[in-house]
Amino acid sequence: MNPTQGHRTATIRPTERILIVDDDRDVLIFMKLAMESEGIDVTCAERGEDALTLLTERSYGVLLTDQNMPGMDGFELAQHARRLQPELIIFMGTGHLYPGIEERATAAGIREVFGKPFNFQRLFEQILEALSHNKGHQSTRRTE
């Protein structure tokens, strides 16, 4: 079953792309297939360093990154990504929500932190809202 079936709330312009970064290949495959089934252009990377290369090659509307990855973590990736593409909207998923994570995320330029396992529908709606309104950076919210 398509996790987004019947819940499309916005029209995505073909020029808007999502970059998903996670060291878990299964997460990447699931997210890519789910987003592409809704007509969203998705690029995936398994490492923060690879994501930075992709960010220098083309523009993206949204970056969805894991927090805990080998090498560059999600916070560091967000900081570098923000310098490369200041209008980029950044979301982060984590299995380790802790007090103060919102402040750290805000400092890194992250719009919202999602706890894992995350509610895919909620995440999808937030991504659609971000792409359709492109409001830029706002204060960080925490979604468990």
The alpha helices in the chain, defined as continuous H runs, are 25-36, 48-57, 74-84, 101-108, 120-133
Helices (H) and strands (E) in the chain, counts: 5, 6
The share of the chain scoring above pLDDT 70, in percent, equals 82
SS3 label, residue 64: strand
Q: Is 8 inside any structural domain?
A: no
Specify the pLDDT at position 61.
93
What does pTM read for this prediction?
0.81
Asked whether the predicted pLDDT for residue 129 surpasses 90, the reply is no
Is the Cα dihedral 137, 47, 28, 40 positive or negative?
positive
Domain count, the chain: 1
Which whole-number Å values give the CA distances from 26 to 40, 53, 61, in the listed order?
19, 22, 23
Q: Is 4 inside any structural domain?
A: no
Per-chain mean pLDDT for the chain: 84
CATH of the domain at 23: 3.40.50.2300
Domain range enclosing 64: 17-143
pLDDT digits (tens, 9 = 90+) for 11-68: 544 447 999 999 999 999 999 998 898 888 999 999 999 999 999 999 999 999 999 9
